[in-house]
Structure 1
Amino acid sequence: MQNHHNKTALLVMDMQNGIVSRFAGNGKVLLPFQKAVEAARRHSIPVIFVRVAFREGYPEVSPRNKSFSAISGFGGMTVSETATQIHESVQPQPGEPLVTKLRVSAFTGNDLEVILRSRQIDTLVLCGIATSGVVLSTLREAADKDFALKVLSDACLDADPEVHRVLTEKVFPRQANVLTVDAWIDTLD
């Protein structure tokens, strides 16, 4: 039987220890992420993990980059640190790529697009932390690259619930189908 989801991939973005710890005091908020990953695996949908991390000495960080220049001053977020490893709640399985990005968008500074194109992926299902960071930036860039997009609204977190609401209810629907993890799973059967 041919898998009709073979051109789809689930991007699990910035679900790394240092970021998850800021948002997930309550472990229940991680359940939608876990459910999405498990459903993708059950339906043979590739799961691709994306994290942000830098080399020792931060040669990739410009002093003009407001988001990342503070990291180079304080330290942390290098590729080998615990903070940049994928959170145990959604650990990658063998064969699931881990892409390291160097900016906010999942596409910046890495081989994500090469991986997607080599697998002939044309549809991306997005989840991650934060809604106003990696999810927004990746959605915009992916739309410009002509990917079909879905955003799992309950598998996205943001420090500001109102920003999350505005993005998932008003901004994202212009470029993506926005649905809950359960609603997405219903489309897989």
Structure 2
Amino acid sequence: MEQNQQNTALLVMDMQCGISGMMAPPVIALLTTTIASTIKHARSHGIPVIYVTISFRAGLPEISNNNKSFSAGKERFKTLNMEEFARILPELAPQGEEVVVVKRRFSAFTGSDLEVNLRAAGIQHIVLTGVSTSGVVLSTLREAADKDYQITVLADCCADGDEEVHRVLVEKVFPRQAEILTAEEWCGKNADS
């Protein structure tokens, strides 16, 4: 099926206060500016914007000691104000009735109602943005591909703490399952559809 404005959604993933603080300030500033312009374009063309954040309940019942990534940070997570940690960056804040889903792992689908929202809106094509390329973007892309979604990754709307990992994923791994575009290319492509 061909992508169009009616079956496409822009996902803004983990662009939240607690995650952005882990990235270099110049990187997060440029990324935020680029994503903000992409969100503006999507809104002006009737493309839904869906926000994905990661958060945990008090006591962290979702974090298993078997999960190497999350259990390593469990003590740090216990000290955080989860409401502030999960707050979406003000420059990218949702408007009106835009959907915000909360996930419990790297993939935007895990522990969230993302798929229910996508199905309800008839979305078959997702456009991925966010931090980090090797975390939420990779995990969401893989799961979305297995669920038969069409996928676009906006390379300059994603970032990773390791620039080489970002480059390898965007140039060599992601193209096997997704279309890779810049924000400008995607906006230009959707200006006419």
- Is the structural similarity TM-score above 0.5? yes
- Contact 2:31–2:158 (Cα < 8 Å) also in 1: no
**In the alignment, structure 1 residue 149 sits paired with structure 2 residue 175:** no
Matches within 5 A, 1:6-25: 6-25=6-25
Taking a change above 3 Å as real, the CA distance of residues 89 and 125 of structure 1, as seen in their structure-2 partners, is: same
Taking a change above 3 Å as real, the CA distance of residues 164 and 95 of structure 1, as seen in their structure-2 partners, is: same
Equivalent AA in structure 1 for residue 168 of structure 2: V
What per-residue deviation string (whole Å, max 9, x for no partner) do you get for residues 53-79 of structure 1? 000001111011111113332224564
**What's 1:122 paired with?**
124
**In the alignment, structure 1 residue 185 sits paired with structure 2 residue 187:** yes
How far apart are residue 24 of structure 1 and its match? 4.7
**What's 2:140 paired with?**
138
Matches within 5 A, 1:160-179: 160-179=162-181
CA RMSD in angstroms comes to 1.2
**What's 1:101 paired with?**
103
- Given the two structures, how large is their TM-score scaled by the length of structure 1? 0.94
Give the fraction of aligned pairs with identical amino acids, expressed as a percent: 50
SS of 1:68's equivalent? Answer: helix
Gaps of 5+ in 1: none
Equivalent AA in structure 1 for residue 142 of structure 2: R
Equivalent AA in structure 1 for residue 10 of structure 2: L
Matches within 5 A, 1:50-61: 50-61=52-63
Taking a change above 3 Å as real, the CA distance of residues 146 and 17 of structure 1, as seen in their structure-2 partners, is: same
